[in-house]
Structure 1
Amino acid sequence: MLRRQDVGHRVVVRRIVGVSQNRTLYSDALGELVGLTETDLTIATDKGTVRVPLREVHRAKRVPPARRPPAAEVIALELAANDAWPAPTQARLGSWILRAAENWTGRANSALAVGDPDRPLEAAVDAVQEWYSAHGQRTLINAPMPLAAPVNAALDARGWSARPLTLVQTASPASLLAALPARSDLPPAELADSLADDWLAMVAEHKGTLPAAARRILTAPADVVFAQVRDAGGGLLAVGRGAVTGPGRWLGVSLLQTAPHARRQGLAQHVLRELAQWGAQRGGARVYLQVEERNTSAVALYGRVGFTTHHTYLTREAPQP
Structure 2
Amino acid sequence: MLRRQDVGHRVVVRRIVGVSRDRPLFTDALGELVALTETDLTLATAKGPLRVPLKDVHRAKRVPPARRPPAADVVALELAANDGWPAPVQARLGAWILRAAGNWTGRANSALAVGDPDRTLEAAIDAVEQWYADRGQQALINTPMPLAAPVNATLDERGWTARPLTLVQTARVAALLESPPSRAGLPTVELADSPADDWYAMVADHKGTLPATARRILTGVPESVFAHVRDAQGELLAVARGAVTGPDRWLGVSLLQTAPAARRQGLGAHVLRALAQWAVQQRSPRAYLQVEERNTAAVALYRKLGFSTHHTYLTREAPH
- TM-score class, shorter-chain normalisation, is over 0.9
Aligned twin of 1:203? 203
Contact persistence 1:180–1:269 (CA under 8 A): no
Q: In the aligned structure 2, how far is the partner of 1:168 from the partner of 1:227? A: 21
Equivalent positions of 1:108-257 (< 5 A) are 108-181=108-181, 184-257=184-257
How far has the Cα of 1:183 moved from its partner?
A: 5.9
Extract unaligned runs of 5+ from structure 2.
none
Aligned twin of 1:277? 277
Report the residue type matching 1:77 in the other structure: L
* Structure 1 moving runs of 4+ over 3 Å: 180-184
Report the residue type matching 1:252 in the other structure: G
Report the residue type matching 1:204 in the other structure: A
Q: In the aligned structure 2, how far is the partner of 1:207 from the partner of 1:280? A: 29
Contact persistence 2:182–2:266 (CA under 8 A): no
Report the residue type matching 1:103 in the other structure: N
Contact persistence 1:170–1:289 (CA under 8 A): yes
Contact persistence 2:221–2:243 (CA under 8 A): yes
Contact persistence 1:180–1:305 (CA under 8 A): no
Write the deviation string for residues 212-235 of structure 1: whole angstroms up to 9, x where unpaired: 001110011110000000011111
Q: For residue 155 of structure 1, give the secondary structure of its aligned residue in structure 2.
A: helix
Write the deviation string for residues 135-186 of structure 1: whole angstroms up to 9, x where unpaired: 1111000000101000000000011010000000000011111124486501
Q: For residue 306 of structure 2, give the secondary structure of its aligned residue in structure 1.
A: coil
**Corresponding position: 1:106 with 2:99:** no
Q: In the aligned structure 2, how far is the partner of 1:21 from the partner of 1:302? A: 45
Q: In the aligned structure 2, how far is the partner of 1:38 from the partner of 1:154? A: 15
Q: In the aligned structure 2, how far is the partner of 1:221 from the partner of 1:183? A: 33
Q: For residue 261 of structure 2, give the secondary structure of its aligned residue in structure 1.
A: helix
How far has the Cα of 1:238 moved from its partner?
A: 0.2
Report the residue type matching 2:70 in the other structure: P
**Corresponding position: 1:7 with 2:10:** no
How far has the Cα of 1:195 moved from its partner?
A: 1.2
1:217 and 1:180, CA in 2 relative to 1: closer, same or farther beyond 3 A? farther
TM-score (norm 2): 0.99
Write the deviation string for residues 6-26 of structure 1: whole angstroms up to 9, x where unpaired: 000000000011111222100
Identity of aligned residues (%): 77
Extract unaligned runs of 5+ from structure 1.
none
Q: For residue 234 of structure 1, give the secondary structure of its aligned residue in structure 2.
A: coil
Equivalent positions of 1:298-309 (< 5 A) are 298-309=298-309
How far has the Cα of 1:252 moved from its partner?
A: 0.4
